[in-house]
Amino acid sequence: MNYVCISPNFPPNYVNFSVRLRERGARVLGIGAEPYEQLSQTLRGVLTEYYRVYDMENYEGVLQACGYFTHRYGKIHRIESHNEYWLAQDARLRTDFNVFGFKNDDMGPIKRKSAMKEVFRNFGIPVARGRIVHGLSDAFELIAETGYPVCAKPDSGVGATQTFKLRNEEELQLFFDTKPPMEYIMEEFIEGEIHTFDGLTDREGNVVFMNSFIFPKGVMESVNDNLDMFYYSQKEIPGDLIEYGARAAKAFGLKERFFHFEFFRTPESELVALEINARPPGGWSMDMFNYAHDADLYDQYAKLVMDGAVDAFSHGAYTTAYFGRKHREHIVHAHGAADILENFGGMIIQHGPIDSIFAPAIGDYAFILRAEDPEPLMEAAAYILERA
């Protein structure tokens, strides 16, 4: 099998996809902007060949790279980046080279939040009231139904970038006066925690691995209010979340893909769908899958690609928690890293700096802790995230 990895070195933990694919017998071919010499020794050791494209935004360069690989190695069987930023380009390459997976025509509901909302609705999954707004009159019409606050977000965007919570008419006016020149969707603000339904589907679209994280505070608040990031896994996934999540995976046609659905869990314990991300959750979440389930999801994905099946998974054996601390001039934490390691070293299974591109959302320096029950992790959160 010829497997083309787009930007195989980003983020750094995704190198494990290339490693496990090679171990399973795939010919792994890389395309990226970095010089070959700057790739890690591990990645260089598993890539059959690496094609440098100086500008990854230039589609013709990436197209030429895939054409070269086809000429040299034969038909390409998979093209994948596992990154939100390249989803549309991945689909365009698959279309041009007739490769299994999402094609151009599939991208509307995957990238546009307004189209996502329609898919959720059509499959009986509750969503927040909202729609694309082109000006103040559209916004006032929506707010007459929902009241303040409302959330405004790019209809096609990545993460919480350029997303706003608007509390009154003054903030609404300022938003329209200063917003970026792109199409925005506006939605009612839903009170509640974010509960995710994450997992992996097989080639027929069946969910073969599932996981759930709880975010007490959303990514939008973390970015806009400079909050630290904290989220943790659920050992037992509630039945209603499994039902909606599995239904959504079928609705969006996810096949042989990782996914990350976000739902609000309201104070009344009802679920409201927020959005789909047709790729693994970001940052160190893949590693948290592994720590929670005592598994290797990088390897299970490679097994699925090569053999069409994965091993059976049980419920998570542990609760894992992510603590991402932001380092800014005006932010001072009460306890240093040395104190954290001394007090919680028995639970800490990974810690280190975060790539700067992710830092505004998930912190500059992070810790992953693991415990059999969530209570010790909540105690750790109060200590690790305490600010002076």
Read off the tokens for 322. Answer: 């992510």
| 154/240 same-domain check | no
Angstrom distance (rounded) from CA 90 to CA 31: 12
Strands (E), the chain: 2-6, 27-32, 49-52, 78-80, 130-133, 150-154, 164-166, 184-188, 193-201, 207-211, 213-215, 229-233, 258-265, 271-277, 319-325, 348-353, 365-371
Cβ count within 10 A of residue 98: 9
Tens of pLDDT, residues 37-93: 999 999 999 999 999 999 999 999 999 999 999 999 999 999 999 999 999 999 999
Secondary structure class of 162 (helix, strand, coil): coil
Residue 249 · residue 199 · CB < 8 Å: yes
Average pLDDT estimate for 304-319: 88
List the one residue out of 46, 21, 102 whose CA is nearest residue 303: 21
Q: Which domain holds residue 70?
A: 2-103
Which one, of 128, 349, 319, 126, lies nearest residue 214 by Cα? 319
Task: Please report whether residue 328 resides in a domain.
Answer: yes
In a domain? residue 112: no
CB atoms within 10 A of CB 27: 18
Q: Enumerate the β-bridge partners of residue 130.
A: 187
So what's the pLDDT on residue 312? 80
pLDDT at 161 over 80: no
For residue 355, the tally of other CB atoms under 10 A from its CB is 12
Of the pLDDT bands very low, low, confident and very high (cuts 50, 70, 90), residue 360 is confident
Residues 212, 233 contacting (CB under 8 angstroms): yes
Residues 241 and 294 in one domain: yes
How is residue 235 written in tokens? Answer: 């050992």
Can you tell me the mean pLDDT for 147-169?
Answer: 86
pLDDT digits (tens, 9 = 90+) for 205-229: 999 999 999 999 766 666 667 889 9
Q: Is residue 139 located within the same domain as residue 211?
A: no
pLDDT score for 220: 63
Whichever domain contains 174, its CATH number is 3.30.1490.20
Q: Is residue 159, in this structure, part of any structural domain at all?
A: yes
Residue 342 lies in a domain: yes
CA-CA distance, 192 to 236, in Å (whole number)? 19
Alpha-carbon separation of residue 208 from 5, 284, 297 (angstroms): 23, 21, 11
Contact 5, 76 (CB under 8 A): no
Whether residues 181 and 216 fall in one domain: no
- Model pTM? 0.93
Confirm if 256 and 305 have CB atoms less than 8 A apart.
yes
**What confidence category does residue 316 fall into, taking pLDDT thresholds of 50, 70 and 90?**
confident
pLDDT digits (tens, 9 = 90+) for 168-199: 999 999 999 998 899 999 999 999 999 999 99
Neighbours of 45 (CB within 10 A): 11
Task: Tell me if 35 is assigned to some domain.
Answer: yes
For residues 62 and 87, membership in a common domain is answered with yes
Same-domain status, 88 and 135: no
For 248-295, how does the pLDDT look when each residue is reduced to its tens digit (9 = 90+)? 999 999 999 999 999 999 999 999 999 999 999 999 999 999 999 999
Residue 227 is predicted with a pLDDT of 87
Rounded CA separation 7/53 (Å): 10
Q: Is 82 left (phi over 0), alpha (psi -120 to 50) or beta?
A: left
pLDDT score for 362: 92
In the predicted model, what is the mean pLDDT of the chain?
94
Asked if residue 352 and residue 210 are part of one domain, the reply reads yes
The enclosing domain of 30 has a CATH number of 3.40.50.20
Q: For residue 163, what pLDDT band results from cuts at 50, 70 and 90?
A: confident
Is the same domain home to 181 and 229?
Answer: no
165 and 57 part of one domain: no
Question: Six-digit token pair at 59?
Answer: 């589609």
Mean pLDDT value across residues 229-247: 96
With 0-12 CB in 10 A as exposed, 13-18 as middle and 19+ as buried, what is 70? middle
Both tokens assigned to 258: 């990782």
Return the DSSP state at 122: H
Q: What share of the chain is helix, strand, coil (3-state, %, to 5)?
A: 40, 25, 35
137 and 204, same domain (yes or no) = no
Same domain, 60 and 81: yes
Is residue 19, in this structure, part of any structural domain at all? yes
238 within domain boundaries? yes
Find, among 180, 248, 172, the residue nearest to 210 by Cα. Answer: 248
Angle between helices 375-384 and 337-344 (to 10 degrees): 160
Between 301 and 328, residue with greater pLDDT: 301
Pick from 198, 374, 388: which is nearest to 277 by CA? 198
Q: Is residue 85 part of a domain?
A: yes
φ/ψ of residue 302, rounded to 5: -60, -40
Identify any residues that bridge with 288 across adjacent strands, giving them in sequence order.
none
Number of domains in the chain: 3
Q: Are residues 344 and 233 in the same domain?
A: yes
CA 139 to chain centre: 29
Structural contact between residues 256 and 1, judged by C-beta atoms closer than 8 angstroms: no
